[in-house]
Amino acid sequence: MNIDKNKKALVISDFDQELVTILQRVTNIQPENMLTIESYGCIISHPFGDIMRSVIIAIYEENVEDIFVVGTKDDSHHTVKLPTRLEKDKIKTLDYLFKNSTPELQGGTLDAWLNGKGNVRENIKKSVDIIRHHALVPSHVNVRGLLIDPNDGDYSIVETPTSTMV
């Protein structure tokens, strides 16, 4: 995969600095042309949240033309557990709000918002889909999902149909 090394690219990845180094090698993008946003599980949980805001600003202010949503193959998915009785009552209330408040709390449940789908490939697909179909993202911006093995640098493209909608 060779990208024009003089173009600016944006990488949304998990908190693993090695991913950016591997991606620079795979794509041939110069370090000074690569912007990064780190997010647990490379998840964009809301089309109008802070991460998406940063993506849009990068597109318009930094002239980003390529966006990569990158996860790791060996990612042992971390889940947030909220165990106490008081917290369980709060979770029920928040789950009710997630199901019945729009658009602020889209996503179904508190667990879905905190942990994503539990599958790195599915989280990447969802994030790519949100970016690709966002009203403020120009159609010429390339958005790709990649799954990288940090042990050997091997990567695979996460196929995301271009016709799906968020």
Higher pLDDT, 162 or 124: 124
**Cβ partners under 8 Å of residue 9, min gap 6:** 3, 27, 29, 33, 34, 35, 64, 65, 66, 67, 68
Q: What tokens appear for 2 in the block?
A: 């060779």
Cα distances (angstroms) measured from residue 10 to each of 45, 122, 133? 18, 20, 17
Higher pLDDT, 109 or 31: 31
Check the annotation: does 16 bind a ligand: yes
Cα distances (angstroms) measured from residue 38 to each of 45, 51, 83, 146, 163? 13, 9, 27, 15, 27
pLDDT > 90? residue 143:
yes
pLDDT > 90 in the chain, percent: 30
Of the candidates 157, 148, 155, the residue with the CA atom closest to the CA atom of residue 18: 148
Q: What is the per-residue pLDDT for 24?
A: 83
Q: What is the pLDDT of residues 4-43, one digit of tens each?
A: 667 899 999 887 777 778 888 888 888 899 999 988 778 8
pLDDT > 90? residue 109:
no
pLDDT > 80? residue 97:
no
Domains and CATH numbers, the chain: 1-77+119-161 (3.40.1050.10), 78-117 (no CATH)
